[in-house]
């Protein structure tokens, strides 16, 4: 059966980790929205692609794949995807922010503390991520995600809490099985 799965949540909630684990388990390609939203740059995640270019690029790369997994918050991309399943991940803010801090240090090392510009970017990113639970104006916020979920016409699986990757994979597989019946 053809499956188009979207996994979304706050930065640091485990979207990419789950997407890659599901990709390995199901054999579906995984597409990370950040790869299309941002131009490759140094430092990374500082130059946005124009929406038309981003959508053209992702649609070209997805073409020819019957089933796929798309990771990321694409609620404002206006790309007319038809999802068979949307998966929303939510973990408590304190845990999510610690994950992000650990991930950033693991990826980039001490430069995020020692280089003035990189430290500024790091702190701005952490503050942006901190606002996810409270902001109502941010396009990637709990508020906007809840509004989007309330309007979904396709199946939704909500996974909350600090669950294991294996537990999340099993929850998605169970939901796919239910949808196939």
With a cut of 70, say whether residue 147 has pLDDT above it: yes
* Residue-level pLDDT at 81: 86
What pTM was estimated for this model as a whole?
0.90
Q: Catalogue all structural domains in the chain, each as residue range(s) with its CATH number.
A: 4-180 (3.40.50.300)
Residue 158 and residue 165: Cα distance in Å, rounded? Answer: 14
And the tokens for 10?
């706050």
Please state, in angstroms and rounded to a whole number, the distance separating the CA atoms of residues 6 and 70. 5
Give every CB contact of residue 103 below 8 A, 6+ residues apart in sequence.
12
Instruction: Say if residue 136's pLDDT is above 70.
Output: no
What is the average pLDDT across 38-44?
A: 89
Which residues, 6 or more positions from 46, have their beta carbon under 8 angstroms from its beta carbon?
38, 121
Give the pair of three-digit tokens for residue 154.
Answer: 């396709």
């Amino acid at each position: 059966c053809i499956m188009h799965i979207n996994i979304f949540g706050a930065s640091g909630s485990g979207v990419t980790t789950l997407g890659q684990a599901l990709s390995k388990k199901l054999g579906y390609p995984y597409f990370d929205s950040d790869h299309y939203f941002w131009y490759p740059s140094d430092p990374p995640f500082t130059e946005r692609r124009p929406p038309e270019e981003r959508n053209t690029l992702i649609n070209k790369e997805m073409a020819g794949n019957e089933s796929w997994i798309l990771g990321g918050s694409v609620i404002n991309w206006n790309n007319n995807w038809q999802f068979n399943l949307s998966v929303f991940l939510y973990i408590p803010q304190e845990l999510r922010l610690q994950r992000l801090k650990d991930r950033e240090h693991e990826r980039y090392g001490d430069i995020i503390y020692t280089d003035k510009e990189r430290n500024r970017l790091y702190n701005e990113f952490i503050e942006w991520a901190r606002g996810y639970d409270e902001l109502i104006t941010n396009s990637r916020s709990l508020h906007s995600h809840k509004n989007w979920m309330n309007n979904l016409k396709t199946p939704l699986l909500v996974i909350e809490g600090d669950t294991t990757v294996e537990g999340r994979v099993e929850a998605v597989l169970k939901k796919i099985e239910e949808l196939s019946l």
